Every structure is written in C-alpha cells, then in structure tokens.
Amino acid sequence: MAKLKPLSDRIIVKAVTAEEKTPGGIVLPDTAKEKPQEGEVLAVGPGKLLDNGKVAPMDIVVGDRVVYSKYGGTEVKLNGEELVVLRQDDVLGVVENGTASKAAGKAAGKTEGKSAGKTAAKKK
C-alpha cells in the first residue's frame, strides 16, 4: 500500500464530505454540492525551510480538523482515497471543538464587522 509523505510546510488532508440533505430535508445531488473546505489532517511535513537554514516548526499536527481556503491545495487520489495536499498557509484555522458550521462562520463575520466599525469610530 502506497503512502504519501508531505515535504516542507505541506500537509495531507482528507476532506470531510458535506451533508447530503438540506435542513428542510431536500436531498442534494452530487453536482449541487460545494467542494468541502474542512478536513482531517493525516500527515504533516517537517516545516518550512527559512533563509537562515533553520526549519520553522509546523503549527498543525496530525489529527487536527482544519478549515482551508476553497480552492487551495492540490487534489490527489491515492489507494482509492481522495486527499488534498495543502501548504500550511492555505489553512484558515483549526476547529477546536466538534465541527465547523455556517453559524460559526457567520458569527465570526459579525464579530469582524463590529470590531472594524469600532476601529473606524476611534479614528474619527
């Protein structure tokens, strides 16, 4: 069985598939589903080689559940399994408890908007 080892600051992620039903109970066909943006880290490279010759350690570890940019990384198929090879920079965040949700994303967006508004108000 072949095994894929990431190099440098790359990670191997197994994408988590999206729900097949909407909250209203409508079943979505494969063509209507969005590309997954969340996955489980299966392997991590040693880290990025810096200009001074040292290796910057990775912030992500095997087993982390991560959210990554929509079109980031390269999709590969190995042993019948679809994987994504990403750079650490393509990872937007690590999910700490359970799974990421649209509600959490919306809440984060509202928080950013509020803080941006406060910053703009302070500048005036």
**Cross-strand partners of 81:** 78
Q: Give the tens place of pLDDT for each residue, 27-82.
A: 666 555 566 688 999 999 999 999 999 999 999 999 999 999 888 889 999 888 88
Q: Write the CA distances from 16 to 8, 80, 99, 123, integer angstroms.
A: 24, 15, 10, 42
What's the pLDDT at 97?
76
| Phi-psi group of 98: left, alpha or beta (phi > 0 → left; psi -120 to 50 → alpha; rest → beta) | left
Name the nearest CA neighbour of 15 among 33, 48, 41. 41
Q: Give the tens place of pLDDT for each residue, 1-25.
A: 568 899 989 999 998 865 566 677 7
Structural domains of the chain, ranges and CATH numbers in brackets: 10-99 (2.30.33.40)
What's the pLDDT at 115?
41
Retrieve residue 93's tokens.
């965040």
Query: Dihedral (C-alpha) 61, 63, 66, 70: value to the nearest 10 degrees?
Result: 100
